[in-house]
């Protein structure tokens, strides 16, 4: 199902490497860690939902997020100014990084991005959490865009902002379907933590007739 297209949707270029811009992007966005974590959330949701339409929507959102993170990674590497080097933003051991990033700040950053993804098999709640993430991401991209002076980097962020807005629209439209079509609100019974099953009924949305006695009026 997954096919990798080596050509990115935009050409990522910058005027020149900039250590300050590198640190700004790396420390604020934490490399691609947060975005890829959200992509994995979308993929898991796609696997768990027992509905082909919603599964495809979630997989498209995941693919968009992964592509955006590949674009962001290329931009961060260009700003860093070193080629052919593997680096993990959470474990960067270069002297400059160690100088500007204390262990206390590293710990704060990781704590800031500890997100609880469990939503108790509620698809609406899951997508509302996803929408909150995308809105926060859009605001963060817009703030960073204002701080960058490189035209190439600003083009990248224009793309990321546009991509995030499209994800927001997709989530809003899907939530609208969930909240206006009764037949799509019937989730599986119990707390199995295995999947959302739209084929079984929930008593609170559609009372089970077995609770009614035909002998009593």
Query: What residue ranges of the chain have pLDDT lower than 70?
Result: 1, 82-121, 181-217
Find out whether 10 and 161 touch, Cβ atoms under 8 Å.
Answer: no
pTM of the full structure: 0.71
- CATH tag, 19-211: 1.20.1260.10
Domain ranges of the chain: 19-211
Given this model, what pLDDT does residue 210 score? 42
Q: What is the pLDDT of residue 3?
A: 83
């Amino acid at each position: 199902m997954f096919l990798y297209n080596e050509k990115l949707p935009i050409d990522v270029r910058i005027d020149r490497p900039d250590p300050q811009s590198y640190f700004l992007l790396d420390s604020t966005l934490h490399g691609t860690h947060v975005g890829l974590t959200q992509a994995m959330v979308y993929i898991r949701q796609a696997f768990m939902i027992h509905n082909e339409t919603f599964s495809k929507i979630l997989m498209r959102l995941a693919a968009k997020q992964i592509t955006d993170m590949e674009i962001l990674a290329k931009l961060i590497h260009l700003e860093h100014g070193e080629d052919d080097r593997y680096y993990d933003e959470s474990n960067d051991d270069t002297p400059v990084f160690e100088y500007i990033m204390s262990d206390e700040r590293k710990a704060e950053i990781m704590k800031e991005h500890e997100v609880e993804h469990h939503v108790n098999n509620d698809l609406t709640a899951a997508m509302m959490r996803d929408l909150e993430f995308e809105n926060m991401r859009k605001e963060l991209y817009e703030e960073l865009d204002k701080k960058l002076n490189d035209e190439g980097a600003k083009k990248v962020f224009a793309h990321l902002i546009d991509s995030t807005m499209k994800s927001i629209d997709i989530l809003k439209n899907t939530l609208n379907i969930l909240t206006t079509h009764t037949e799509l609100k019937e989730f599986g019974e119990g707390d199995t933590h295995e999947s959302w099953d739209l084929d079984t009924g929930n008593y609170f949305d559609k009372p089970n007739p077995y609770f009614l006695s035909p002998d009593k009026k």
